[in-house]
Structure 1
Amino acid sequence: MKKLIYGAAIALSVFAFQACNSNKDSKETADSLNKTKDTTTNAMNTGGIAVDKADADFATKAAAGGMAEVQIAKLALEKSTNQSVKDFATMMVTDHGKANDELMAIAKAKNITLPTAMDANHQKKYDELNGKTGKDFDKDYVNTMVDGHKSTLTLLQDEAKDGNDAELKAFAAKTAPIVQMHLDKINAIDKSMK
């Protein structure tokens, strides 16, 4: 009985320490965990990671961005007053949700740790958007989507061209045209709002 209580106390202490030590955001934590899975030195203890650092970094960046797209789009569905923005947000939830699921499956097969929550930058933007209403919300959401899709498109194109892992390269190559279509659509919405 004493061992059980002692074990529970240790587990609770570890959990409390991790909760208090949450200065790192979810993406940074995933990157740190992936770094410790280096197959050249630590595979026996960590199970290894089946990709190099650059491909693992791509996966965590893509996952963080994709997760943010879905969460921010859900916010837009609640707060937007513009039907075009709402339609775009619905497309974000569907398309990025599907891409996120596909990336998670690849990451799981390759033992890549992905973020489980929005990173600090995306959370800050979410909170900022959440404080806005009406046309102010719509304008800031559209600007956020234009900027986000430009950087995501570059990330995907770079991985498709320079990545080392065949599955991640294929994912990036397949996803880039969808993101380009999103960028074209949000640019059109932006022009229509001016």
Structure 2
Amino acid sequence: MKNLKISPFALLLLGMLALASCENKSTDSEEIAEEQNEEKFEDNKAEKDAEFAVAAADGGMLEVQLGKLAQSNGASDAVKMLGEMMANDHSKANDELKALASQKNISLPTGLSEDSQESYNDLAEKTGEEFDEAYTEFMVKDHEKDIDEFKKQAENGYDADLKSWAAGKVPTLEQHLARAKQAEAAVDSLKNR
């Protein structure tokens, strides 16, 4: 058997190629779904609709997980009830979005994005009154942002079904925002006693 000699330069080149191929592989579920959609949709309009669907799915999954967390880590009844409503309503919306995305051949994330996971982890470290305050503040800010994004999709989206779905969710998101503000006020009043 002959000894195979590989030059140090060839080994370095192989190592660099291997590293470069690994660098392009994302583990962020949201980014993976976006990359898959970019490959599927050459049409910029379809890609923009897919971007909305991906962001909505990621946000919806976070709402469900945080809602469940609120039920276990929250101190006040207002926060626990808000969490239950969020988990239930967003689970239903997520199921609807999955069915719609399947019809449209849109890839959705299968888990939380890195940003959403970071938000979850931050809240998961808190309990009691500290959790209640952080959770209600997050819910208010998140739903204000969500309402804006869903209204934009309802008005400016390209796919009629996705526009209709987004428009149909705005009243529920507005109700969630109102309930989050009520829970935040209840938490503040308990804190100021």
TM-score range, shorter chain: 0.7 to 0.9
Measured after TM superposition, the shift of residue 78 of structure 1 is: 1.1
Match 2:92 to one of 98, 112, 117: 98
Match 1:26 to one of 13, 25, 29: 29
Alpha-carbon spacing, 1:96–1:20, altered in 2? closer, same or farther (3 Å):
same
Structure-2 residue corresponding to 1:155? 149
Structure-1 residue corresponding to 2:7? none
Alpha-carbon spacing, 1:138–1:21, altered in 2? closer, same or farther (3 Å):
farther
Distance in 1 separating the partners of 2:99 and 2:117: 24
Please list every run of 5 or more consecutive structure 2 residues that lacks an aligned counterpart in the other structure. 1-21, 189-193
Runs of 4+ in structure 1 over 2 Å off: 19-24
Question: 1:22-42 CA distances to partner (integer Å, 9 max, x unpaired)?
Answer: 6441111100000000256xx
- What percent identity do the matched residue pairs reach? 39
Structure-1 residue corresponding to 2:59? 65
- Pairing 1:143–2:137 present: yes
Please list every run of 5 or more consecutive structure 1 residues that lacks an aligned counterpart in the other structure. 1-18, 41-50
Equivalent residue letter for 1:71: Q
Distance in 2 separating the partners of 1:87 and 1:178: 16
Alpha-carbon spacing, 1:22–1:139, altered in 2? closer, same or farther (3 Å):
farther
Alpha-carbon spacing, 1:160–1:84, altered in 2? closer, same or farther (3 Å):
same
**Bigger Rg over Cα:** 2
Distance in 1 separating the partners of 2:24 and 2:119: 23
User: Tell me, what secondary structure is at the counterpart of 2:112?
Assistant: coil
- Pairing 1:184–2:187 present: no
Structure-1 residue corresponding to 2:19? none
Question: 1:46-76 CA distances to partner (integer Å, 9 max, x unpaired)?
Answer: xxxxx61110000001000001000111111
Corresponding pairs, count: 168
CA contact (8 A) 2:69 2:124 kept: yes
Question: 1:148-173 CA distances to partner (integer Å, 9 max, x unpaired)?
Answer: 11111111000000011000000001
Distance in 2 separating the partners of 1:160 and 1:172: 5
CA contact (8 A) 2:30 2:108 kept: yes
Equivalences for residues 82-121 of structure 1 within 5 A: 82-121=76-115
Measured after TM superposition, the shift of residue 192 of structure 1 is: 2.1
Equivalent residue letter for 2:38: K
Question: 1:117-146 CA distances to partner (integer Å, 9 max, x unpaired)?
Answer: 011111001111111111001100111111
